[in-house]
Structures are given as structure tokens and as C-alpha cells.
Amino acid sequence: MRTVFWDYNSNQLNMIDQRLLPSTFEIAVFDDYHNVAKAITDMVVRGAPAIGAAAAFGLALAAIKSKATSFEELRRELNTAADLLLQSRPTAINLHWAIHRVLSHIPGSCNDVDELRQFILNEAQAIADEDIEINKRMAKNGAQLIQDGDTIIHHCNTGALATVDWGTALGVIRMAHDQGKHIHVLVDETRPRLQGARLTAWELSQYKIPYDIITDNAAGYFLHSGQVQKVLFGADRVASNGDVANKIGTYMLALAAFDNNVPAFSVVPTSTIDLSLNTGNLIPIEERPQAEVLDITIAERKVSPEGATAKNPAFDITPNRLITGIITENGIVYPPYDENLQKVVITTTKP
């Protein structure tokens, strides 16, 4: 089943509600783009490619449900919807990429309101379908690097749930496992939202890939004691110099990997590469609510004292010097990234 999919009978968007996993599997249904934007902010759907597809379908909802009677009126409404969807989360470039792709691909010959509605839906569907195909290409490229017997540390959730299906870094692990390689995954629990402990562990159980959940701060121990051969993670945005914005904790993980000569790879579709930014320091870092840190409970008691405050950056920047390679659907990119990344980014312009 896909993480994000359109129901053609009801003309509604369906998404797995990732906040409820692993205890409850539930499909959330959307017929209003405002609610899609809120679902992205609230992390009903999360993971860079998945929120890109969700935003594209959000535009489709705006188009299909609109009462506009002229092309110009619908075009204006789409711009309003795009503005709202763009604000839903700031770091993952896939959201911008998907919205830009849908709106910029509207053919010049299209001037009929129903034709426009159909075009937006078709384009959103194409983004979703292509995502799976791209993930499988990335997975095949990355699986070449995985050796039989490897133990891999994985951060956050980069699997089918973070995409439309299959996954990025977890997709590589899945492909290597399907190729018959024996792999053990050390799953960073990924505080504070625990995407690793909740979502990655759930996915690995389904694929029957052996794993252990580790606390984020145990990664250094496993790397230093020689128990790990690779570190894999995704990215929410890659700058043109190869700096990587990814889930908070990636920087410390990559540092520990570097210090112990363990290769660390970021696995990304080329839609995650932002060639307009020449350094990761320009990538906006989302600050999420303090409650995500402060409301953690043990034995039904809040861990933090009453009145405590918290800082909760959702992402960090890993400098390019710590990244061994960047695995994309168009090949594996090695340093110097400022020269080599642009070779894999193929700009698609439609006639």
C-alpha cells in the first residue's frame, strides 16, 4: 500500500496516519487542501518525498473541489493553495519542488478550467508514480555498496512511509536484503518524534530484516567498537556543495562515523538537491513545538519538571566533508560535490 494515494472514486486524498503507528494503522482521508497543509505540519505525513507528493495532491484537491468557472479564477486559487502548502514545513525542498513542478508544467495551450483540473491531478499522480520508480533506482545504486554481513546504522525513517513507497536509505537496505545479503540494522530511535523506534522498526519487522533499536547517543559506542560497517540516512535538502540537512542528530552520527572511518552515505532523489543554495548554512531549519520534547513520559509521568522549557530544532546540517557519498537515482556522487552534484540533477522541462 502507498503512504499517499488518491481515491479516484471519491476524489479524495488518502494518507497513512503516521502519528498512530506502530500501534494503530489508520488511513486519514482529505477533501480540503487546508487540511492537507495542516496534516503536513502535524506530521500525519512526513518524510521529504512523501510531503512533496502530499502537497502536489493538495493542489489537486484545490483544483478538483474549486467552484471556479474560469481558467484565470482557478489559476489564482491554485496560487493561494500553493502559498499555504509551502508554509506547512520549511526544510524539505521536495515540497517546493513538487508544487513548482505542478504549477510550472501547466501547458501554455491549457485555457479550459476542467482541463486545468485534470492536468493538476494527473501531474500529482505522475509525481507519486515516479517517486516509487526513482526510489527503486536509488536502491539498486546503493545496494552495490552493501556487503553481505554488514551492520548498518540508520537514522530517522526513510522507508516506504517517508516516500510514496519503497524508501530512500531504507530502500537501499531493503534492496540489499532482497538480493540475499545478510544485514543487521541498528535503528536510531530518533528523538524526539521517535521516527526510528516507531516507524523504521515497524517497517523492518514487516520486511523481516533483523534489527535492534538503539538510543541515538549509543551510535558513537557502536561505531567506536568496530561493530558497524556503514551509516545510512536520507536528507530533506542537499546544498550544491554537498552539505546535507537531515533529521536532528544526523550531524553527530556522521561525526562519529567519520572519526571511526565508517562510510556515511546520504540517499536522496535528485528532487532533494537544491542547487540554488551553495552552502547548507542557507537551508532553513524548522523549529518545532517545545511540547515534542517536554511531553515525553515514563511510567505515565512527565520526564521534565513543571515549567521547563526546551529547544527543538527538527533538522541539522551535516557538512559535506563528513559525507562519503550521496546516492541518487542517477548514480552515486562523490566529492568534490560542488562539481559532481550538478551532473546528476537533470532539469526536466515539458514542451
Pairing of the two strands 184-188 and 151-154: parallel
Q: Which of residues 89-108 bind ligand MRU (CB under 6 A)?
A: 92
Single-letter code of the amino acid located at 279: T
In the set 188, 216, 236, 274, the catalytic residue is 236
In the complex, least distance from residue 119 CB atom to ligand MRU, rounded to whole angstroms: 27
Nearer to ligand MRU, 78 or 159 (CB): 159
Give the Cα separation of 243 and 246 in Å (integer): 10
Q: What nine digits make up the cell of 84?
A: 499555504
Nearer to ligand MRU, 177 or 196 (CB): 196
Nearer to ligand MRU, 158 or 270 (CB): 158
Q: Which of residues 49-68 bind ligand MRU (CB under 6 A)?
A: 49
**SS3 letters for 267-311?**
ECCHHHEECCCCCHHHCCCCECCCHHHHCCEECCEECCCCCCCCC
- Of 154, 247, 253, 326, the one binding ligand MRU (CB under 6 A) is 247
Single-letter code of the amino acid located at 102: V
- Of 2, 47, 88, 320, the one binding ligand MRU (CB under 6 A) is 47
Question: Rule CB under 6 A: is residue 192 a binding residue for ligand MRU?
Answer: no
Question: Rule CB under 6 A: is residue 191 a binding residue for ligand MRU?
Answer: no
Cis previous bond, 336, omega within 30: yes
With contacts defined by CB under 6 A, name the span among 47-55, 68-76, 145-153, 201-209 that binds ligand MRU: 47-55
Nearer to ligand MRU, 158 or 328 (CB): 158
With contacts defined by CB under 6 A, name the span among 55-63, 68-76, 139-147, 231-239 that binds ligand MRU: 231-239
CA dihedral 190, 194, 200, 201 (to 10 degrees): 110
Task: Give the single-character DSSP code of 159.
Answer: B
- Which of 160, 221, 164 shows the shortest CA–CA distance to 188? 221
Task: Give the single-character DSSP code of 284.
Answer: P
CA dist 269 to 134, 218, 236, 266, 329, Å? 7, 29, 10, 10, 6
Question: Rule CB under 6 A: is residue 117 a binding residue for ligand MRU?
Answer: no
- Which of 278, 265, 285 shows the shortest CA–CA distance to 325? 265
Known active-site residue 236: yes
Total number of residues that touch ligand MRU (CB under 6 A): 18
Residues that bind ligand MRU (CB under 6 A): 46-49, 92, 156, 158, 162-163, 168, 195, 233-236, 246-247, 314
Active site residues: 236
